[in-house]
Amino acid sequence: AQSVTQPDIHITVSEGASLELRCNYSYGATPYLFWYVQSPGQGLQLLLKYFSGDTLVQGIKGFEAEFKRSQSSFNLRKPSVHWSDAAEYFCAVGQGGGYQKVTFGTGTKLQVIP
Partner 1 sequence: DTGVSQDPRHKITKRGQNVTFRCDPISEHNRLYWYRQTLGQGPEFLTYFQNEAQLEKSRLLSDRFSAERPKGSFSTLEIQRTEQGDSAMYLCASSWRQGNEQFFGPGTRLTVL
By the rule CB under 8 A, 86 interacts with partner 1: no
Q: Which stretch binds partner 1 (CB under 8 A): 12-20, 62-70, 77-85, 93-101?
A: 93-101
Q: Give the burial string for 17-41 (b: 16+ CB within 10 Å, else e).
A: eebebbbbbebeeebbbbbbbeeee
Q: Which stretch binds partner 1 (CB under 8 A): 17-25, 45-53, 60-68, 69-77?
A: 45-53
Q: Which letter does DSSP use for residue 31 in this model?
A: P
Q: List residues near partner 1 by CB under 8 A.
A: 4, 32, 34, 36, 41-46, 49, 51, 90, 92, 94, 96-107
